[in-house]
Structure 1
Amino acid sequence: MAEITAAVAASHAPGLTGWFSKASEEDQRTVRRAYDGIREVLVAARPDVVLVVGNDHVANARLHDYPDFTFGLAERHRGPDEWFKPWLRVPDYDLPGAPDVAGRLLEALGDTGRRLRGARDNLRFDDNLSVPATLTGLADLGVAVVPVLQNCTVPPIPDQDDCYAFGRALADAIRDDLPAGLRVALLGSGGLSHEPGGPRYLEIDEKFDRWWLDLLVEGDHDRVLAEATLARMEEAGSGGTAELLSWVVVMGAIGPRPCESLGYVAFDQWRCGVGAVCWDLGDAPATATTGTV
């Protein structure tokens, strides 16, 4: 029986690497503390593999054949993709993969009714993996990584209930289908409020962001699923805020429990609300009443 030993989530806005210095020193310190906090959680959890759940920015599939979730099966995960380098401005990275783990999870989840796909070649990574890998120093930790890229853009999009249920199924697969003693960390990558390329491109819905973070800190997942709907995310920023569904996958995997907010920044030049959280996995979660598989 494998074990989930850490659960964290954070924004991956390209401004955090591409034009980080535009923000005030205070805002920069807040982001550094948040990502340092995530790194500390990962180091303390001693994972054998980190599952990074993040959205695909229409870079790895055609619109007419778009999977709900794509599992990276490559031996190595290299990035960032060449096209995204000018605006991400991060060093190249080369992360060890875990194709056996990814393959077992993909097989175990094959009968859940989701449109799943495995990618044996290197995926095209933009800020979804590049920003958390850079700011947490994943490459320095020497831990294997399994990217799980999800559809948050192309209809039909799996909504909050679908993603929570997928997270529960993912937790079952980790527990029942991975090798005994394997230690797994979960990192949700994406959000908060932003509208890439839309009329509100330079607007951040700070009210929504703080409401969302407060909901997560409270730990009532039934309320999150009832109120933080896909439609509500779209109201806060169309085509971008729904990246928070990656956080919902992590929440489904660990069950209802409160979390700690590691910080929040609303700086318009980053074009995205920026925040991070970590969940305390020390106690058993409350019984979930929603998000059935």
Structure 2
Amino acid sequence: MAKLVIGLAASHAPGITARAEEEPQEVRSRVYRNYDRLRALLEEARPDVLLVVANDHVTYMFEIIPQFLVVTADAYEGPPDHQWLRIPKYKVKFHTDLTSFILAGLLERGFDVAFSANPLLDHATMNPLHFLASDREGGVIKYPIVSLLTNAFVKPLPPLRRGYQLGLALRELVEQFPEDLRVAALATGGLSHDPGGPRWGYVDEEFDRRFLGMLTRGDVESALKLTPEEVLSTGGGSYEILNWVVVWGIMRGKPATVLDYVPSYNIGSAWAYWTP
């Protein structure tokens, strides 16, 4: 049977690669060092597959906005804006057997998730994979992935509680998968930021530290009481904490270890991990 070997969470701020020189060298080094620390933890866990929980930036589709979407493709090459992001165009393989098992299992458990075989994975997925899972030379992501995209931008937004419940179901399905696989989970995004909004550049450090405190204490209930309105009051992109909450559910509410928090690149960037 498959088993969950580690959970990770990290910012996916595009500026970290696209506009790296905007921050002083000391900040840049600190940011990159935190990705290196997560990469080392991931490699130590020796995963066979990486379950990535990221969000759509309304680049996937405009006419229909799914709250949760599972990518059912075999392979992908991207991101499409890799030159702007200043990262390679990576080849990604999907673990189709685990993806199909998870998709069917979620439907059986009452999660009416959407699915698509035509992925468009932007910096939300690809920037963290660049830092954590690339071969850094050949333009390949080292692990096959299962890709789950959330709606963190377009109202009405899924409640954080629903994201947590989804995470619990994902953990159950991973552990029921009959193949002997080591699975790592990765949440990307956040924390507070207001991309393209009136407070672009503002970071709500008080909110970010409060949320991270909930993570480190394992205080799931306090986190799940946060409403979309409360979270969005800190910035239009701040609801990306939904991705963190999904992986928190995958880790069954265990306290996280927060490696660092660095307000940088107009975002409250943070890095954390859970052991199973």
TM-score by length of 1: 0.88
SS of equivalent to 1:125: coil
Pair 1:230-2:228 in alignment: yes
Structure 2 match to 1:105: 102
How many residues align structurally? 272
Choose from 104, 116, 121 the match for 1:119. Answer: 116
Q: CA RMSD in A?
A: 1.6
1:129-174 per-position Cα deviation (integer Å, ceiling 9, x unaligned): 1210111143466211111111112222111101001111111111
The residue correspondences of 1:123-138 to structure 2 (distance < 5 A) are: 123-138=119-134
Pair 1:77-2:72 in alignment: no
CA separation in 1, counterparts of 2:39 and 2:83?
Answer: 26
Residues 185 and 137 of structure 1: CA distance in aligned 2, closer, same or farther (over 3 Å):
closer
1:67-86 per-position Cα deviation (integer Å, ceiling 9, x unaligned): 122112222221112xx335
Structure 2 match to 1:275: 270
Structure 2 match to 1:199: 198
- What stretches of structure 2 of length at least 5 have no aligned partner? none
Conserved 8 A contact 1:200-1:237: yes
Q: CA deviation at 1:230?
A: 2.4
Structure 1 match to 2:150: 150
CA separation in 2, counterparts of 1:39 and 1:95?
Answer: 17
1:182-213 per-position Cα deviation (integer Å, ceiling 9, x unaligned): 11110001111011111011211111112211
Aligned-residue identity in percent: 36
1:35-87 per-position Cα deviation (integer Å, ceiling 9, x unaligned): 11111111111111101100001112234x22122112222221112xx3353
Structure 1 match to 2:166: 166
- What stretches of structure 1 of length at least 5 have no aligned partner? 282-293
TM-score by length of 2: 0.93
SS of equivalent to 2:9: strand
CA separation in 2, counterparts of 1:94 and 1:69?
Answer: 23
* Amino acid of the structure 2 residue aligned with 1:119: S
1:214-258 per-position Cα deviation (integer Å, ceiling 9, x unaligned): 2211122122222x33222111112x0001100000011111222
Structure 2 match to 1:289: none
CA separation in 2, counterparts of 1:113 and 1:87?
Answer: 39
